[in-house]
Structure 1
């Protein structure tokens, strides 16, 4: 990790992530911890870090779909306390999993391609688990 990646990671950790967590608390009606595996996002260059805001937007969008009413908010609050973000090397390693109140999102934000889930894909998966 070079200086550029360190600066960008620090900016995300101190400014963008707290603002994002406040936004999703407002959407869901309760606190959801966002756990970013920083080592997997800084192992390449600044590109994966620069794509995190897109992922944040997709997560907010999926939460809006789930939490559109009190039934959805209640079901989610009973099933999800943490969102864990991990950046993978290969697109075939992409995965979503909701287990033990943790929503694991394995993304591929490095290399020549961008592999992540849309808000609709996340909402569909999580609704099926609630």
Structure 2
């Protein structure tokens, strides 16, 4: 990761990332731990796309899923009892929702390439929501 990528990651971390994780935690009604492998997400020569792509690929689908699940008290309680941590990374080469998500022992892992199928937000939201509800 070069200087341009480091600057773009820092800008995202200080701005959008905080707002997005705060929104997720507010919707859930409790603090969820986030662990992000920034080095794996920050691919060289894509720094100009971080602000657009990271939310679409990693955060908006999670926001949509949490909104759906936490729409009532039963959903909020089920989510709180099950989801403790979210790991975001780009290690497996996955770019479809059907293979990008896993949930084990209270940990949701999102392993998706940051710049592929960026606009498939609805598909990712649906797959993620179904996965989480299955484990609640």
Same structural fold, with TM-score higher than 0.5 when normalized by the shorter chain: yes
Q: Determine helix, strand or coil for the equivalent of 1:8.
A: helix
User: Is this contact kept in 2: 1:8–1:46, CA < 8 A?
Assistant: no
Alignment match, 1:65: 68
8 Å contact from structure 2 (residues 95, 117) kept in 1? no
Tell me the number of residue pairs that the alignment of Structure 1 and Structure 2 aligns. Answer: 128
Large movers: runs of 4+ above 4 Å: none
Asked which structure has the greater RCO (Cα within 8 Å, sep 6+), the reply is 2
Cα root mean square deviation, aligned:
2.2
Please say if residues 41 and 113 of structure 2, whose CA atoms lie closer than 8 Å, have aligned partners that are also in contact. no
- Partners of 1:91 and 1:101 lie apart in 2 by 21
Asked if the contact 1:88–1:109 (Cα under 8 Å) also holds between the matched residues in 2, the reply is: no
TM-score by length of 2: 0.82
The corresponding residue for 1:95 is: 100
Q: Which residue of 2 aligns with 1:32?
A: 32
TM-score (norm 1): 0.85
Which ranges of structure 1 fall in alignment gaps of 5 or more residues? none
In 2: Cα distance, 1:96 partner to 1:121 partner: 8
Matches of 1:92 and 1:62 in 2, distance apart?
18
Distance 1:66 1:109 in 2: 25
